[in-house]
Structure 1
């Protein structure tokens, strides 16, 4: 018997230990009951009568505990449906056209008239060719114009188009009246105008006046799970209502035309995108919902200086503002994920994996020199589908290795990066849509969304499928799912 078979047998025995013990116990009790006589039953009833007060107290206490549990138990949070924004075809860009955009952007930048050369453009080209992005990602309309526009009007137009597009499709698919929405949470890190984006949504879709609305800014690519976590807490307080979560980012405002290479990397990775998610705490919505929310776990490593500074908006040497991505980002991301898993693991892992980890922990404490690392739990025993933030090819490579995942486990993330690029906080929803479009989401499956962002933060959400989930109408993968996954060589070359 191979080591793999031994581990599977061990996992099966511990996972089904209760059932395995219950069967012989039930058989034993049934055998004993079959030998009971009428006099034994009369003696038992007489004993109950003699201790009637005790029986009544125990019964009353049991009923009280049951009612208390039902009243205090948090209500289930259901994901009715969600919608990912699919930009129109005229916003598509190839790798070469991305280079053209930033060449034109530098031409019209007055600070580039002196001190700028073509070395940074050549650096961007090399990064793009190795980035894992394909030739069908999207950039906003303002950057397509010649010369590219970074005006406030262009910036605002991008965000409004993304939010409206995602919401119109969501309301069409769910048939929910916008006035039924009781909670609204929007996250956008870079663009937070006045009036707020939440006010824009309320005005556009005529939401009711007593809505609980929130705007999350500056929280990076992991803000989508933060928004879900906030909506969850609010749904536990406000009964019988819907919560609308919108995750987006603005690419026009972050376009950087300088020479700093660590800031040029963001030009190569980030693309336009957004998602709208409808949550409910109404019991009757369970029948039509796709998922129920099992867990959310948030980890913040910002107390560490290297983590805090690895993704930062700042001015370069010429006074141009951009988002700097540090070379330490893969290391920081790996550390944050490990800390997040240390909290999430006990909530989702089966007893067999918890026991192995505990044994390895004790062994390492006792034999420090002989045992270098703790046992790494097999997350695939608890999770069926992985939606890892498509932040970049390097981050995906590190997490695939550290979490001991197979290529199919990161297929949704790599395909999303190739087709849509890094859409920031909404990327985990494009990945979930990919799994649905492939027909892989079955009833009872667990999907783990892992979001990484500046600060530095790692946030997780675990969803349980309530049925065999199919892709919703107008899915972003509707017209291209058959072309994915692309071969490894195509990903490396950035072409489809």
Structure 2
């Protein structure tokens, strides 16, 4: 009997022990979000109709056709009266920005959101184990991440990462980095800071493909607190379920569809080409091919495959029609779409067959705060929370697109009912906007009337 025990039970005990270790290790791979804070600038940086028009008319490189193009773009942009611009732009210093202007802009966003994040969470900066900062268009020495470490006197063994050039989807790139670091470092706290440097990157030339960025991009950012410590699970607001990154930079047209460059006159800016929507569609389709099986229930996948087979057999469907029949709402309740522009939101909504209710958070974030680049997703999330849409157990599908060209998407699970007013608390009752017409329409809507093309702009 003792021999039997030694031969069979001891190996069984070892197997069970190792299996238990694997389970514990798997549990440590969770990535929880403890909190996030978005940035809202002061009123003196507000870009209303008059302020934006003044910025446009200050550019002496523009002729009547360029003025008309810019004003038409503003009229149809989906951006409202309450967005914020960099301080040097508001003060009329866009043609000669200095390094001090750029760093001051970042400091305001970083320290405002981090101060609030640490105060609300009760976590001390000295407790942070990992820091990831992503700002695409500014790389200073020492790094922007080092400025944060210095400001908050963070500990010497903190793991610091400074990401640049990653575009509007950089926020999820940073979270993916943290998720992988959590596999190695146990029971840690991580902070991700996402923003963009607008001040020194304002375009002062007359290339139309580069003027578009001035109409869409605005100041903003977000700081997030993440952990893989299961002891803090009860404090978490969301849990990361899955994250998929797609990069099609090997395709020349996609790579060049949004790119920083200088025009023929030497003015530096951000060029957006007509290939942007095509690149976005291609990257999103490839990303969904990987993400969908992780998100949708088996019965929905079986239904979709069966329908696809039958429709192909009778030659009734196009590829676009087949995608539209895939019911994403079978796997997620909310859609958090990057507010990159009205066309971006429209195309994603059309491709995923979403309702206006689903698109409302992205549209309102664009209207209220503009395209805040990597920080944009969190203003959309904040809108959902302020509207008390997010309930325990709900799943949120985040969709981000950015230069590279990249599509980074993820799904979060809500851990508790969320209803913080955050940056929306002083205006959420007035949204969705009862008057969605862009305020530029009232004063400059006539610009679309070709019969008035002879009118000069003073």
Distance 1:370 1:117 in 2: 50
- Of 282, 291, 297, the residue aligned with 2:244 is 297
> Equivalent residues in 2 for 1:80-95 (5 A)?
80-95=34-49
CA contact (8 A) 2:81 2:439 kept: no
* 2:402 matched residue in structure 1: 453
CA drift at 1:69 = 3.0
TM-score, structure 2 length as denominator? 0.90
* 1:46 matched residue in structure 2: none
CA contact (8 A) 2:49 2:440 kept: no
Distance 1:411 1:310 in 2: 27
Q: Secondary structure at the match of 2:183?
A: helix
Q: Secondary structure at the match of 1:227?
A: helix
CA contact (8 A) 2:51 2:90 kept: no
Distance 1:344 1:137, change over 3 A: same
* 1:400 matched residue in structure 2: 349
Distance 1:468 1:255 in 2: 40
- Of 347, 356, 364, the residue aligned with 2:303 is 356
- Of 433, 454, 459, the residue aligned with 2:382 is 433
Aligned-residue RMSD, C-alpha: 2.3
Residue deviations 1:57-107, cap 9 Å, x none? 896476246414324415221100000011111111113311212332x24
* 1:236 matched residue in structure 2: 183
Residue deviations 1:107-144, cap 9 Å, x none? 4xxxx4xxx42321221111011000001100011111
The answer as to 2:14 corresponding to 1:67 is no
CA drift at 1:494 = 6.6
* 1:391 matched residue in structure 2: 340
* 2:202 matched residue in structure 1: 255
Distance 1:121 1:493, change over 3 A: closer
Residue deviations 1:329-380, cap 9 Å, x none? 122212211111111100010111111233245457x738444333542111
The answer as to 2:236 corresponding to 1:283 is no
CA drift at 1:490 = 2.4
How many pairs does the alignment contain? 436
* 2:370 matched residue in structure 1: 421
Distance 1:270 1:221, change over 3 A: same
Distance 2:299 2:52 in 1: 50
Q: Secondary structure at the match of 1:490?
A: coil
* 2:90 matched residue in structure 1: 144
Distance 1:371 1:406, change over 3 A: closer
The answer as to 2:222 corresponding to 1:269 is no
- Of 472, 479, 482, the residue aligned with 2:429 is 482
CA contact (8 A) 1:80 1:278 kept: yes
Distance 2:418 2:252 in 1: 42
* 1:367 matched residue in structure 2: 313
* 1:467 matched residue in structure 2: 416
> Equivalent residues in 2 for 1:21-40 (5 A)?
none
* 2:446 matched residue in structure 1: none
CA drift at 1:403 = 0.4
CA drift at 1:145 = 1.0
> Equivalent residues in 2 for 1:186-225 (5 A)?
186-225=133-172
* 1:125 matched residue in structure 2: 71
* 2:286 matched residue in structure 1: 339
Distance 2:219 2:42 in 1: 11
TM-score, structure 1 length as denominator? 0.83
CA contact (8 A) 2:80 2:439 kept: no
CA contact (8 A) 2:145 2:162 kept: yes
